[in-house]
Amino acid sequence: MAVLVMVLLAAPAAAESADVVIVGAGGAGLAAAIEAADQGVSVVVLEKMPMVGGNTLYATGGMNAAGTSSQEALGIEDSPAVHYEDTIQGGNDLNVPELVEIMTSQAPAAVEWLKGLGADLDDVGRLGGSSVNRTHRPTGGQAVGPHLVQVMFEAAQDRGVEFRLESQAVEILRNEDGAAYGVVVDNRDGTYTITAKAIVVTTGGFGANPTMFVEYDPELEGFGTTNAPSATGDGIAMLTEVGAQLIHMDQIQTHPTVHPGRSTMITEAVRGNGAIMVSRDGTRFVDEMGTRDVVSTAILEQEGQSAYLLFDDSIRASLAAIENYRRQGIVTEADTLEALASELGIDASTLTAAVEQYNASAAEGVDEAFGRSDLPRSLTEAPFFAVEVGPAVHHTMGGVVINGDTEVQGSEGSIPGLFAAGELTGGVHGGNRLGGNALADIVVFGRIAGQHAAQF
C-alpha cells in the first residue's frame, strides 16, 4: 500500500483505473481486449503508436490452424496432432511442449472465432516447414494482418473497449504482496498512473531493436529488420524489472526473403505457391520450402549473400501481395527466361536449364536435387519475374515465461494479476518459428489472456 500511495502522489495527472488494462494494441492485445470485454469487465488498451496494429499489421502470409471449416471446404485433411509435430520439428525440438499443445489444439477454434467476428480466412496455402496446407488468409491471397487488425479493432470498439493511442507504458507497478496493480503511462500531457485488477502485456517482440538483438546474438550485427518500428522489446524490459523470468532470448529468426535495398519482406507464400530460388550463377541451391533458419543460412553462403526469387505469371496471379512488390519497383520482369537472365546479369542457358529441370521435377512430383516436397506448379507462363532477396531479422522467439493460462512467471511462480501474450513471450516457437504460427500464437494466447485477466 505504501508503494501505491507514493506513486499516486508522484503522478502529475489524474490517476485512473479499469478492471483490465492491456498494454499494446497488436493482434494479441486486440484478441485479449475482445475476450475480456465479452466477460463484462471494463477494458482500457494503451498503445504507444498513433495507430493500432504493430507487427500484426505487417503479416502477409497467413495464420496456421489444423482442422478448420476452410480446410474442410477445400478437401484438406489435417489435424492438430500433425500441426503439433510440424511445430516441434520446425522449432528444433526446443519448444515448450505445453504451449505448443495449447496453440495447436486451440488454433482451429481461433480461426472460427475470427470468422465469427467477420474475418475472411477462406484461402488456405502452405508456408515453409508445414507438411499440410494450413495457412489461412483472405480470398485471393490478400495480406492477412491488416484484415485481422481491422476486424478485431472494430469488434473491440463495438464492445466498448477504450483505446488510448500515443500512450506508452513505461513501468508496471507491484504492491507489497507482489501483485501487479498498475501501469505508469507517458503521453503528450506527461505521466500518469492507471490502476487495474489485472494487467495484460502484449507489446510484441524486439526485432526492431538492434541494440537488443545484437546483445543476445552478436552475429546479427549489421542486419536489417522486417519489423514495425514499434517492436522494441518494451514489455520484456518492463516485466524483467518486476521479476519475470525469460526464456530463449538468443533464439532470433531471420527471414530469408527480404529485399536488401527496401527491407520489404517477400512473403513465404510466394514460395508456397511455387516460386524457386536461384543464385547469381543461375542454379537452385536449396529446398525453397525448408525452414527459415536453413534457407537463410543457404542464401548467406551464395555469392553476394543474396539470391533471386523467381516465379511466373501464374504465381503472380495467385497472390495479390505480389502486386504490392511490383508497385515498389523491386520486381524485375521479362517476357522470356533468357531476357530475365540478361536483365539480372545471369548466364541465360544455366538459368533456363535450372528452370527446365525444376519443371520436370514438378511434373513428376519428386525433387531429387533438393528434396522439396511441395511442388505446386511448373514455371511456364510468361512473363517471368525475379526479386533479389536476403535474410533480415524477423522474429524474436524468446521472451517472458508464461504458463498455459498466460500468467507471467517470476522466480516463485505466477506474478498475481500479471498476464502476457504474443511475441513478447517465449517458448512457443522454440529455436525457429514456422511461417503462419505467430498469428496462431497471438490469437490463441491473446484470447486466453483476456479471459483469465477478466476472471482474475
Ligand X SMILES: Cc1cc2nc3c(=O)[nH]c(=O)nc-3n(C[C@H](O)[C@H](O)[C@H](O)COP(=O)(O)OP(=O)(O)OC[C@H]3O[C@@H](n4cnc5c(N)ncnc54)[C@H](O)[C@@H]3O)c2cc1C
Give the residue numbers annotated as catalytic, written as ranges: 292
Q: Considering beta carbons, is residue 58 or 216 the nearer one to ligand X?
A: 58
Which residue reads 536488401 in cell numbers? 260
47 lies in the site for ligand X, by CB under 6 A? yes
To ligand X, the closest distance from the beta carbon of 264 in angstroms equals 8
> Is residue 420 within 8 Å of 237, Cβ to Cβ?
no
Which residue in 25, 44, 194, 298 binds ligand X (CB under 6 A)?
A: 25
Residue 383 preceded by cis peptide, ω within 30: yes
Which span (4-12, 47-55, 272-280, 287-295) binds ligand X, by CB under 6 A? 47-55
Q: x/- string (CB under 6 A) for ligand X, residues 104-143?
A: ----------------------------------------
Which span sits near ligand X by CB under 6 A: 296-304, 338-346, 365-373, 433-441? 433-441
Q: How far is the CB of 143 from ligand X (least distance, A)?
A: 8
Considering only 81-89, 152-160, 368-376, 431-439, which stretch makes contact with ligand X by CB under 6 A?
A: 431-439
Q: Which window, 4-12, 20-28, 85-93, 345-353, contacts ligand X (CB under 6 A)?
A: 20-28
Q: Furthest-apart CA pair in the chain: how many Å?
A: 77
Q: Does residue 204 bind ligand X (CB under 6 A)? A: yes
Question: How far are the Cα atoms of 310, 326, 339, 340 from residue 346, in angstroms, in the given order?
Answer: 13, 21, 10, 8
DSSP state of 303: G
With 0-12 / 13-18 / 19 or more C-beta atoms within 10 angstroms meaning exposed / middle / buried, residue 235 is: buried
What 3-state class would DSSP assign to 389? strand
Q: How far is the CB of 268 from ligand X (least distance, A)?
A: 7
Measuring CA to CA, which residue among 258, 282, 294 is closest to residue 431?
Answer: 294
- Residue 159, Cβ density class (10 Å: 0-12 exposed, 13-18 middle, ≥19 buried): middle
Choose which of 217, 234, 367, 407 interacts with ligand X (CB under 6 A): 234
Determine, following the binding rule CB under 6 A, whether residue 61 of this chain makes contact with ligand X. Answer: yes
Query: Rounded to the nearest 5°, which phi and psi values hold at 245?
Result: -85, 150
41 binds ligand X (CB under 6 A): no
The single residue among 68, 193, 209, 227 that binds ligand X, judged by CB under 6 A, is 227
Q: Is 21 in the site for ligand X (CB under 6 A)?
A: no
